[in-house]
Chains A and B, each alone.
Chain A
Amino acid sequence: MMDFWKHNRSWLWPTLFICPAVILFGVVIVWSSLQSLWISLHQWDGLGPKVWVGLSNYRELFQDPQFFVALKNNVIWLVLFMLAPPLGLAIALLVNQKIQGMRIAKSLFFTPLVLASVAVGVVFTWVYTPRFGLLALVYSAFGAEAPALLSNPDLVTFAVVGAALWPQIAFCMILYLAGLNNLSEELIGAGRVDGARGWDMLRHVVLPQLKEVTFIAIAITAIGALRSFDMISVMTQGGPFGSSSVLAYEMYEQSIFSYRFGYGAAIAAVLFVIMLVFIGWYLSRIMRAEELR
């Protein structure tokens, strides 16, 4: 026995080391995700037996107007979230100066990122509160009355996205600040010699060097937009009348409140397929960079 261990320890140890992580991640995360796809082909209330229904959950989904409302909102989230990388870059450029107090200013700009999204949701619910909130205060300073953002079906999604952008911009700012620290002084110097300044310098010298950071910022922001759940749950619960729901919230509601686990799993599967585009894009770039190393 000891002999066997001695001869094979070069591979036995590593196997032993990696097993807990692989088994736990494999069972809880990977296997669960695959199981959902299977569940989506059944009718199931979460307790009784699963009844095989084939693709009928998906057929129902594509006839459900609420599904398209949620899908449309997902698109709105995705498009508006793309404001986060440029705004994050703008703040990063703003604070990238060595002036006294700038370090504290930087960390204060980061703060929204470490707040729980529930906290951000409550904070912005308060900001948007009609007549009493911060927004109402700003409007009344101009003698106007603020719209009741969270109870207006046409505006509610924009209001929630506005709140969610707050931490997302801070995240992009951190990425860009790190990127700005790694700029090549030589290229910048050469640009200056050639007379490039301001916008030209940014476009032709700085941005090309930030390509990698920009890719990461865009990919993660897109995935974050599609994963949005917390803010909606806290600020609107998908309302009014389902007008601010997204696929992630729709899935939760159908499963937890209506006990339609098969239907919920089908919604999750659709969301998963949409996200797979972005995850695949991100993963292929990361892995290619890894193999070149």
Chain B
Amino acid sequence: MYPRPIPETARRSRFLYGALVWFILLLWLAPLFAIFLTSARTAEDIAAGNLWGRPSEIGLVDNYIGVFQLTPMASYYWNSILMTIPSVILVLILSTFAGYVLSKFRFPGNMVLFGIFIGGNFLPAQIMMIPVRNLMVNLGIYDTVLALVIFHVAFQTGFATLFMRNFIAALPRELFEAARAEGASPLQIFVHVVLPLVRPALAALAILIFTFIWNDYFWAVVLTVSDSVKPVTAGLASLRGQYYSAWNLLSAATVVVAIPPVVLFFFMQRHFVSGLTMGAVKG
């Protein structure tokens, strides 16, 4: 291991080292603590410029209730859920099929397709913005959640396919050969061999894709305009314009927007980290 492990017996050094790490962590997360503390301030304190002194009253509950009552946050939230969950499911289906084919079948153009899936994933969003927006206008679904779902499924399929391809390629070859020797069709192999084995990969992929789509901001502002359709990211940005100086509300809204990915991450951390390093192609 590097750095050299601090020996179990060096109690004092271990304690001091731990304290140092937590101190650095405190600085690292200071912006988050600041926003959280502000979300507990009352509007009066904010207006009076009392941001860091002793609060006259704790406004925590009022602020979080206020976010849902005074702003369209509930509707933003619902739109985000409506956009993210179906997209994740569709991406998983499409990419498992495509990943299976790219990893287990030899055909001309296999590597080219693979390269396109990886490369497309890195393109700047702006290069496809105008035609995608146009496509949605022509399909009559511009400014709907469906437009966001279609785009996100298409885009994330690139990353997800690469991910599934690499995972399936690493599965033991004997299983596939045995199934083929018994005369199983590709569909039967998919159902009886691939599906049971890719479950851990699907879990890792699902949480990654969920985070990417939930957190997307660019397409939310390009493909939606109405408040009733906006997901949380675009919603938060427009709240920032409206409640310019109501930092107690804005802070609470920010925390609310951040919660789902953070909670999901803490519950499925192992999957998230292994997914990110396995895929290692996404910024």
Could you list which residues of chain A lie within 8 angstroms of chain B, going by C-beta atoms? Answer: 9-11, 13-14, 17-18, 20-22, 24-25, 27-33, 35-36, 39, 46, 91, 93-102, 105, 107-112, 114-119, 122-127, 129, 131-134, 137, 166, 168, 171, 174-175, 177-178, 180, 183, 185, 188, 192, 201-202, 205-206, 216, 220-221, 223-224, 226-227, 229-230, 233-234, 247-248, 251-252, 255-256, 261, 264-265, 267-269, 271-272, 275, 278-279, 282-283, 286-287, 290-291
Q: B51 at interface (Cβ–Cβ under 8 A)?
A: yes
Are B98 and A18 in contact (CB-based, < 8 A)?
Answer: yes
Residues of A contacting B232 with CB < 8 Å? 116
Residue among A36, A174, A275, A278 with max Cβ neighbours from chain B (10 Å)? A36
> Considering the chains assembled together, what is the distance between the CA atoms of A268 and B128 in angstroms?
9
Given contacts A137-B52, A174-B276, A220-B283, contact A229 B218 (CB under 8 A): yes
Report the nearest B residue to A176, measured CB to CB. B277
Of A17, A248, A264, the residue contacting B101 (CB under 8 A) is A17
Are B130 and A29 in contact (CB-based, < 8 A)?
Answer: no
Are A234 and B237 in contact (CB-based, < 8 A)?
Answer: yes
User: Can you list, as one digit per residue, whether each of B176-194 has a CB less than 8 Å from chain A (1) or not (0)?
Assistant: 0000000001110010000
Report the nearest A residue to B137, measured CB to CB. A46
User: Can you list, as one digit per residue, whether each of B193-207 has a CB less than 8 Å from chain A (1) or not (0)?
Assistant: 000000000000000
Are B3 and A96 in contact (CB-based, < 8 A)?
Answer: yes
Are A233 and B221 in contact (CB-based, < 8 A)?
Answer: yes
Are A97 and B35 in contact (CB-based, < 8 A)?
Answer: no
Residues of B contacting A286 with CB < 8 Å? 118, 281
Residues of B contacting A177 with CB < 8 Å? 273
Residue among B18, B123, B155, B272 with max Cβ neighbours from chain A (10 Å)? B123
Binding site secondary structure of chain B: helix
Are B29 and A111 in contact (CB-based, < 8 A)?
Answer: yes
Are B251 and A25 in contact (CB-based, < 8 A)?
Answer: no
Are B277 and A178 in contact (CB-based, < 8 A)?
Answer: yes
Are A114 and B17 in contact (CB-based, < 8 A)?
Answer: no
> Considering the chains assembled together, what is the distance between the CA atoms of A94 and B6 in angstroms?
12
Are B186 and A9 in contact (CB-based, < 8 A)?
Answer: yes
Are A25 and B283 in contact (CB-based, < 8 A)?
Answer: no
Are B17 and A25 in contact (CB-based, < 8 A)?
Answer: no
Of B17, B250, B277, the residue contacting A122 (CB under 8 A) is B250
Residues of B contacting A279 with CB < 8 Å? 119, 122-123
Are B257 and A118 in contact (CB-based, < 8 A)?
Answer: yes
Residues of A contacting B131 with CB < 8 Å? 31-33, 35-36, 39
Least distance between A237 CB and chain B CB atoms (Å): 9
Report the nearest A residue to B216, measured CB to CB. A116
Are A33 and B127 in contact (CB-based, < 8 A)?
Answer: yes
Q: B265 at interface (Cβ–Cβ under 8 A)?
A: yes
Q: B97 at interface (Cβ–Cβ under 8 A)?
A: yes
> Considering the chains assembled together, what is the distance between the CA atoms of A227 and B32 in angstroms?
24
Least distance between A175 CB and chain B CB atoms (Å): 6
Are A227 and B254 in contact (CB-based, < 8 A)?
Answer: no
Residue among A29, A95, A125, A177 with max Cβ neighbours from chain B (10 Å)? A29
Report the nearest A residue to B276, measured CB to CB. A174
B contacts with A, residue count (CB < 8 A): 99
- Counting from the closest, the 10 A-B pairs by CB-CB distance are A224-B283, A28-B154, A13-B186, A21-B98, A32-B131, A116-B215, A32-B128, A17-B97, A178-B277, A268-B126
Report the nearest B residue to A10, measured CB to CB. B186
Of A124, A201, A226, A256, the residue contacting B124 (CB under 8 A) is A226
Given contacts A108-B29, A255-B130, contact A216 B122 (CB under 8 A): no
User: Can you list, as one digit per residue, whether each of B21-35 has a CB less than 8 Å from chain A (1) or not (0)?
Assistant: 110110011111011
Residues of B contacting A110 with CB < 8 Å? 265, 269, 273
Of B1, B151, B258, B266, the residue contacting A28 (CB under 8 A) is B151
Are B155 and A119 in contact (CB-based, < 8 A)?
Answer: no
Are A272 and B98 in contact (CB-based, < 8 A)?
Answer: no
Could you list which residues of chain B lie within 8 angstroms of chain A, going by C-beta atoms? Answer: 1-6, 14, 17-18, 21-22, 24-25, 28-32, 34-35, 38, 49, 51-52, 94-95, 97-98, 100-102, 105, 107, 111, 113-120, 122-132, 134-135, 150-151, 153-155, 157-158, 161, 185-187, 190, 211, 214-215, 217-218, 221-222, 232-233, 236-237, 240, 247, 250-251, 254, 257-258, 261-262, 264-266, 269, 272-273, 276-277, 280-283
Are B126 and A251 in contact (CB-based, < 8 A)?
Answer: yes
Are B18 and A102 in contact (CB-based, < 8 A)?
Answer: yes
A101-B18, A115-B262, A216-B280 known; 14 new pairs, CB 8 Å cut-off, are A18-B101, A22-B113, A24-B157, A98-B5, A111-B262, A119-B236, A126-B31, A137-B52, A168-B283, A180-B1, A216-B281, A229-B217, A264-B129, A275-B123
> Considering the chains assembled together, what is the distance between the CA atoms of A275 and B31 in angstroms?
31
Are B127 and A123 in contact (CB-based, < 8 A)?
Answer: no
Residues of B contacting A261 with CB < 8 Å? 130
Report the nearest A residue to B261, measured CB to CB. A114
Report the nearest B residue to A168, measured CB to CB. B283
Are A268 and B257 in contact (CB-based, < 8 A)?
Answer: no
Least distance between B198 CB and chain A CB atoms (Å): 14
Report the nearest B residue to A24, measured CB to CB. B154
> Considering the chains assembled together, what is the distance between the CA atoms of A198 and B113 in angstroms?
45
Residues of A contacting B154 with CB < 8 Å? 24-25, 27-29
Are A126 and B34 in contact (CB-based, < 8 A)?
Answer: yes
Report the nearest B residue to A287, measured CB to CB. B115
